[in-house]
Each structure stands twice: as structure tokens, then as C-alpha cells.
């Protein structure tokens, strides 16, 4: 069994529908879904604001690469085009963190594979990931430079302007799972 934290975002077309397509596409694998946030683009490419959320998922059949492939299939279904790094997109699904069930607990996956680096190497610098992650897992921990750090502390260390740019919307994603689950 594996558990993963997926960061989802869209800034083209029907942004909310694209985010909902992820929750619908993951079905009963969804454990919790954060509120939806509006955020400025990250990476310096001129484009419209994003809608972002975090989806916490579980599946006894998938490993970290399985989550990556699942996210890529959802992006393809949304006609995602990869032309400009950090450019506008219909849908972005990133595997931020993953853990596998071993000896009675979830053990975080660490990977330096260029196809899927875990934990996500930039997650600790992105308020649009950290803010909604705390909504679904207030005690979440993320390894940064070999040290496990509370996500709340990582968020507090970001510049105030970065944190202020993450604005909660009134939008919700259908099928939000009951309760929330620990993710550390």
C-alpha cells in the first residue's frame, strides 16, 4: 500500500473542472481533498493565475511511479501540453510526497530518479503546495536536505508575499473524503 500527496493545479480553460477531473479520476483512492486556492504563477512565465489544491490518496496496488503514471494519464485526458517549462497548463499533477506501508507504518519514499524525485525537490519553497497540504494533514512532515521538517515550519519560513499570494476560494472539489489522515 502507498499513500501520496498530489499537488494539482490549472490555469487554462475550465480550471475548476480540470481539478475536479482529478478527484473524479482517482475515485475511492481519495482520502482527503484540500480547499481550492487561487495562486499567482510560479517560475517567471507570464500567464494567468492558477487554481491549486492538494489531494491525499491511498492505494494498495500503486507505488510512487504508479502515482506518477496515474497523474500523467489525468494530465493527458485534460489535453496537457508540455511546451514551456513552468508555462500555462490545463492540468498539472505533481507527486509531492509518497510513503509505502512497511512493518506497520508508512515509510516515506526517497528517490533521486530524474523521472520522479521524492520528496518533490521544490515543494518546501512553494506556498501553493504547503498551504493546502496543511489543510489535509496539519501534522505533515517533509524531508528537506536530509532532515524531516514540519510543513508548518517550512511555510512559516517562506517570504510573507509568497504566503499572501495563496488565497482560499469558495470553490470545492466534489467527493471530498470524510475526515483527514496523518501524513508524515
Assess contact for 19 and 167: CB atoms under 8 A: no
Reported confidence tier of residue 161, pLDDT bands at 50, 70, 90? very high
* Residue with the three cell numbers 475548476: 16
In CATH, what is the architecture of 2-168?
Answer: 2-Layer Sandwich (3.30)
What pLDDT was estimated at residue 1?
A: 81
Residue 182 above 60 pLDDT? no
Assess contact for 30 and 56: CB atoms under 8 A: yes
- Cα–Cα distance measured from residue 86 to residue 50, given in angstroms and rounded to the nearest whole number: 12
Q: What tens digit of pLDDT does each residue of 133-154 get?
A: 999 999 999 999 989 999 999 9
Q: What tens digit of pLDDT does each residue of 55-82 get?
A: 999 999 999 999 999 999 999 999 877 6
Assess contact for 131 and 155: CB atoms under 8 A: yes
Q: What tens digit of pLDDT does each residue of 31-43 get?
A: 999 999 999 887 6
Distance of CA 19 to the CA centre of its chain: 11
DSSP letter assigned to residue 37: E
Residue 177 above 70 pLDDT? no
Among residues 94, 85, 149, which one has the least CA distance to residue 117? Answer: 94
C-alpha cell at 42: 510560479
What pLDDT was estimated at residue 64?
A: 94
Neighbours of 109 (CB within 10 A): 20
What pLDDT was estimated at residue 174?
A: 63
DSSP calls for 115-179: TEEES-TTGGG-HHHHHHHHHH-TT-EEEETTEEEEHHHHHHHS-HHHHHT-EE-S---TTPPSS
Query: Considering the entire predicted model, what is its pTM?
Result: 0.90
Task: Provide mean pLDDT across the span 89-106.
Answer: 92
C-alpha cell at 62: 500503486
Amino acid at each position: 500500500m502507498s499513500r501520496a500527496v498530489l499537488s494539482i493545479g490549472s490555469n487554462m480553460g475550465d480550471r475548476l473542472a480540470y481539478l475536479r477531473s482529478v478527484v473524479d479520476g482517482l475515485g475511492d483512492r481519495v482520502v482527503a481533498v484540500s480547499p481550492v486556492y487561487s495562486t499567482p504563477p510560479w517560475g517567471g512565465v507570464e500567464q494567468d493565475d492558477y487554481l491549486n489544491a492538494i489531494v491525499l490518496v491511498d492505494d494498495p496496488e500503486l507505488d510512487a511511479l504508479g502515482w506518477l503514471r496515474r497523474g500523467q494519464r489525468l494530465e493527458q485526458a485534460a489535453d496537457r501540453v508540455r511546451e514551456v517549462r513552468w508555462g500555462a497548463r490545463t492540468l498539472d499533477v505533481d507527486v509531492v510526497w509518497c510513503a509505502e506501508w512497511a512493518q506497520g507504518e508508512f515509510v516515506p519514499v526517497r528517490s533521486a530518479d530524474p523521472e520522479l524525485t521524492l520528496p518533490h525537490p521544490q515543494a518546501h519553497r512553494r506556498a501553493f503546495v504547503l498551504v493546502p497540504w496543511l489543510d489535509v494533514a496539519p501534522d505533515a512532515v517533509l524531508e528537506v536536505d536530509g532532515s524531516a521538517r514540519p510543513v508548518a515550519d517550512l511555510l512559516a519560513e517562506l517570504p510573507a508575499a509568497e504566503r499572501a499570494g495563496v488565497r482560499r476560494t469558495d470553490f470545492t472539489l466534489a467527493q471530498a473524503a470524510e475526515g483527514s489522515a496523518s501524513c508524515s
